[in-house]
Structure 1
Amino acid sequence: MFDADRLPFRVAALARIIVLIALTGPVLWARDAAALIALFVIGAIWALATLVDLRGVLPLGLLIAGEALLVGTVCGIVVDASTAVIGALCVPPFTAAVFRGLWSVVTSLCAELLMLVAFAYLVGGSLSVEQASAAFSWAVTGLGLGLIGTFLNGALIERSDPLAPYHYAQGLLRQLIDISEGLDSGLDPVALGGSILSGVRDEVPTVAMTLYVARDEALLPLVTKALGTPDEVREFEGVAGESWRACAPVRRGRVFAFPLLSEMRAIGVVVAALPDGADARAVGVDDAVRRLMSDLGPSAVHLDTALLFAAFRDAASAEERRRLAREMHDGVAQDIASLGYLADALDAVSTTDAQHERIAQLRERITAIVGEIRRSLVNLRTSIGESESLGAAIASVARNLSEVSGVPIHVTADELTERLRPEVEAELFRIAQEAMNNAVKHAQADSVDVHCQVRAPAARITVTDDGRGLQPGRADSHGLKIMRERALLVNAELELSDVPEGGLCVSVTIRGDGGPEEITVVQPDFDDETRVKA
């Protein structure tokens, strides 16, 4: 029996000892012989009950009923001579509650009161008012202790049940599903961020705006309207960091920033720039910012909820990918690898050229399958690391894929220091990964070129191969559908086009504005010096 399973028995034994000591003291002081003998008998009953508890000799329900009946019997026999032992009536309901919960309290109380009244009438002929009052008082005390024991029963069961965290998680997930149906603003962080920036623009004339959200210790741009020059981007980042640390509005020249507060906690920072030559005082920026911080409170709560949901979804997806990778490695991969050893053994005892040729074909096919499983394991295990960029992650998986397939894959990365949000990086990474896999496995490409350009929150990735181009889809092929679904999750555009010289170009573009009114497409602009061979 585990320690957690012993806790109810320890609690019951401790309660019996404490009550027995509490009752014995006054009885010894009064030198009440009848009560002392009754307490000795009750002590023996409780000692036997504790021993049976620990040994598990009798069913628990029978033990609970037996303890209540015996204690009620002893109290009924001695009540005519002394009421000092009636306090023992409060113990059986408590121990019953600790073991079985509320219904056992009712059963235990009824059993002990029935025996007390029955033997009181058999021995003494009746119950006096004093005796009945004492029995009632201690029965009510037993009921109260039983309710406390019921609470302890729930706590102890939850502690000892290894499935308790899963049951709790089930309840939370069901609540999340029910609640999500009533979220009129949805759970798309980009759409919510775009709505917040639109509200700022309605209040203050601006030429550029960015909404930053926190990721670990850094601020990442979530939505941008009208991207500025690199110098303006750096200025925005500085003002955003200052406002975030101070958790207060900041104004530097024509650039101003203010935090979005959810439950008195900053969950993001809005940074905006006034038109050239605009006077912040004449525009009334300070007053407008104070109004916006108040009016955007509900929007901040909506955005915080959406970001938490995205983080939960990403964590669950990453854990599921790791689990699948472990199962594939320890199960299917090992079984298929063992078939290779079996093929080698058969080849060693082959007697004809025809047998040798067929076994060689089998060995070659097994090797190809093992290589395919290894690629799948790399795909499942590779993710965006905490310390690497999107381009570096794509280069890492391209390098592994190139080594396994023998197809050269060139990755060109053009990124600034600011990063995309984790869920956006993850989806773009998986799209690029799937596009490279398709080029290697199905397009029969001799080489693959990958361009990754990031200007957070905008980005563009293109995967170009020199293979057979876009072929009619197979009934069992879901790669393109999955890429489109991933693109929709982050409001990206996925485009496929044939290359004039032969091959296919897969392009995925994230626009940084969070809405249709201002589209800024990041155009690829690469030079040979930035090309890195994977």
Structure 2
Amino acid sequence: MSQEGPLRQYALLAGATRGFAIVALVLASVLAGDSTGVLAVLSIGCIWLAATTAERTAVPVLVTILGEAALVGVAGALSLAETFQLLTVLAFPPFTAALRRGAWGALLSLVTELLGFSAVVVLVTGGLTMPETTSLVTWTIFSLGLALIGSFIYATYREPVDPLDSYRNAQALIRELIGLSDNLYRGLEPVTLAATIASAVHDELPVRGLIVHVPRGEQLTPIIDDHRGTEQEARHAEELAAQAMRLRSIVVDDRAFALPLSSGAGTVAIVTGFLSPGLDPQTLGLQYTLSTLAVNLEPDIVHLDTALLFAAFRDAATVEERRRLAREMHDGVAQEMASLGYLVDEIMHDCDSPGIELRLQVLRERLSAVVGEVRRSVRTLRTSVGENESLGTAIGSVARHLTGTSGVPIQVTLDESTQRLRPEVEAELLRIAQEAMNNAVRHAEATTIEVQCTVAPPHVEIVVSDDGRGMMGRREDSHGLEIMAERARLVEADFTVRRREPHGTVLSVVIDGAGRTRPPAPSPIGAGTEQGRVLQP
């Protein structure tokens, strides 16, 4: 931290302290009808105004501290004949001195103040009465207390800032998270935990269906929707959820309700639902039941909040790592391969053998292909869903770029609502769609690719189909399907791959949004139709 910043903060705090002290003393004197006290306070105010001005100029700190202390001590002693209540002002110079020079400054100010006070008392008044002595001792002790506070503030703000502190704090938190993760018996799947909350509400209330929303910035996105009501009811649920989030309280509108669930850090989720037809909210005690649920669901709220935070952390860390890898590939591998290409060009230029020149030409073409592949990989690694674009827009951007570089036409059909999925869900779905399109272009030798993207949170379906060679068996060095299946499991999606007649492949990833009581069990790539598996011929 620079010196200028703390000095400005100390001067501001000292000035504010003096200002409040003057206002308090003036009010006390006016209410007591003490005109002499008002004049004495105003004179001390002039001293403090001069001290505050000096602190903002080039006047040496020691001169300001000693001058303020001596003048305040003299003024306090002179006013002692009229009232000893103004001894209160003796407490403030040591405090302001401590803000600027710590304990030594406070001690120097207090000693100077008492010397000035004592000199005037001896020369002018001749001594102190017992009440005056008692008041002097009291305010001296109070001065020491304020000086300790000022010294603590000085020491705290003057401590050198270690640039590694944030990293050390992050290390401690990450280690703690790793240690805790083994004991998280409920897991860290947001959809599963939200489904648990929905089940608890179902158990307490006779509802036709529920929607669980979670915040995404200032907006809400559904994470569970087992209501399947009309479009009008869906809009009504959105309005109630937004109102409950804004008011941070339960909202009941006839048979519809919105229940905000909060932790210490704010609103974690909002549950909206509709009572079954014919039920009376008053007879059911809906408001009381919802209030009770908000209390009883506290453990589940903490679990869900932890899962959402972990998902956001994982997504942020993944994005940064992908960007780092992209930079290294672009600045390292791609540049080295391009340099090799230039070297091959030079050798070809000086080569006299047609046979060797032909081989060098093949090598040059292969190097160009590898450089292009690396650059496509860099593009893939850096692609993400921005805050100002939707998932479908991001998929369309990837498709346009891939069409431009490969020449294979990719038709993208979008059907999106204005609501957004959670950021980490959008990121994983984009990467699945991106990998599917890349595979169709690079390995399937497809001539056309069709992508259908339907997003109506919490439901989402992405289908990528091509007219390529189809699934010819898994290569030993290929892990694309496994990676896509793993990404689908991270967001609790159903991932399937099947043949397209007469030839080609259809890949789909679906999040139904209704929620499950438990996440799909991880399963290897192989034949089958269970959730989370890939269908192969």
Q: TM-score band, normalised by the shorter chain?
A: 0.5 to 0.7
- 1:383 aligns to what SS in structure 2? coil
- Cα separation, 1, equivalents of 2:172 and 2:266: 27
State whether structure 2 residue 180 is matched by structure 1 residue 179. yes
The alpha carbon displacement at 1:299 in A equals: 1.4
- 1:207 aligns to what SS in structure 2? strand
Query: Residue 223 of structure 1 aligns with which residue?
Result: 224
Between stretches 449-458 and 351-360, larger displacement belongs to 351-360
The alpha carbon displacement at 1:352 in A equals: 3.2
Unmatched tracts of structure 2, length 5 or more = 4-61, 67-102, 104-150, 521-537
Distance 1:259 1:3, change over 3 A: closer
The alpha carbon displacement at 1:210 in A equals: 0.5
- 1:436 aligns to what SS in structure 2? helix
- 2:450 aligns to what SS in structure 1? strand
RMSD, aligned CA:
2.8
Aligned 8 A contact 1:239 1:250 in 2:
yes
Number of residue pairs matched? 379
State whether structure 2 residue 286 is matched by structure 1 residue 285. yes
Query: Residue 196 of structure 1 aligns with which residue?
Result: 197
- 1:270 aligns to what SS in structure 2? strand
Between stretches 310-319 and 219-228, larger displacement belongs to 219-228
Query: Residue 485 of structure 1 aligns with which residue?
Result: 486
Deviation track 1:108-143 (CA, whole Å, cap 9, x = no partner) reads xxxxxxxxxxxxxxxxxxxxxxxxxxxxxxxxxxxx
Query: Residue 81 of structure 2 aligns with which residue?
Result: none
Between stretches 225-234 and 202-211, larger displacement belongs to 225-234
Deviation track 1:330-361 (CA, whole Å, cap 9, x = no partner) reads 11111111222222222222323323322221
Whichever residue aligns with residue 388 of structure 2, its letter is S
- Cα separation, 2, equivalents of 1:436 and 1:361: 28
Whichever residue aligns with residue 379 of structure 1, its letter is T
The alpha carbon displacement at 1:156 in A equals: 5.5
- Cα separation, 2, equivalents of 1:337 and 1:322: 21
- Cα separation, 1, equivalents of 2:371 and 2:266: 51
The alpha carbon displacement at 1:264 in A equals: 7.1
- 1:475 aligns to what SS in structure 2? coil
Aligned 8 A contact 1:492 1:509 in 2:
yes
- Cα separation, 1, equivalents of 2:502 and 2:398: 26
Whichever residue aligns with residue 409 of structure 2, its letter is P
Whichever residue aligns with residue 225 of structure 2, its letter is T
- 2:271 aligns to what SS in structure 1? strand
- Cα separation, 2, equivalents of 1:490 and 1:171: 27
- Matches of residues 14-163 of structure 1 in structure 2 within 5 Å? 159-160=161-162, 162-163=163-164
Query: Residue 368 of structure 1 aligns with which residue?
Result: 369
Q: Taking structure 2 as the reference length, what is the TM-score of the superposition?
A: 0.66
The alpha carbon displacement at 1:229 in A equals: 2.6
Aligned 8 A contact 1:445 1:467 in 2:
yes
Query: Residue 438 of structure 1 aligns with which residue?
Result: 439
Whichever residue aligns with residue 495 of structure 1, its letter is T
Aligned 8 A contact 1:397 1:433 in 2:
yes
- 1:410 aligns to what SS in structure 2? strand
- Cα separation, 2, equivalents of 1:196 and 1:363: 60
State whether structure 2 residue 453 is matched by structure 1 residue 452. yes
Query: Residue 391 of structure 2 aligns with which residue?
Result: 390
Deviation track 1:204-251 (CA, whole Å, cap 9, x = no partner) reads 111121111111111111111132232221111111001110001111
Q: Taking structure 1 as the reference length, what is the TM-score of the superposition?
A: 0.66
- 2:207 aligns to what SS in structure 1? coil
Aligned 8 A contact 1:378 1:400 in 2:
no
The alpha carbon displacement at 1:516 in A equals: 5.7
The alpha carbon displacement at 1:167 in A equals: 2.6
Query: Residue 505 of structure 1 aligns with which residue?
Result: 506
- 2:495 aligns to what SS in structure 1? strand
Aligned 8 A contact 1:493 1:510 in 2:
yes
- Cα separation, 1, equivalents of 2:517 and 2:452: 25
Query: Residue 380 of structure 1 aligns with which residue?
Result: 381
- Cα separation, 2, equivalents of 1:468 and 1:259: 51
- Cα separation, 1, equivalents of 2:296 and 2:517: 24
Query: Residue 331 of structure 1 aligns with which residue?
Result: 332
Whichever residue aligns with residue 455 of structure 1, its letter is A
- Cα separation, 1, equivalents of 2:227 and 2:393: 27
- Cα separation, 1, equivalents of 2:265 and 2:428: 32
Whichever residue aligns with residue 338 of structure 2, its letter is A
Distance 1:368 1:212, change over 3 A: same
Unmatched tracts of structure 1, length 5 or more = 5-17, 23-93, 95-147, 520-534
The alpha carbon displacement at 1:429 in A equals: 0.9
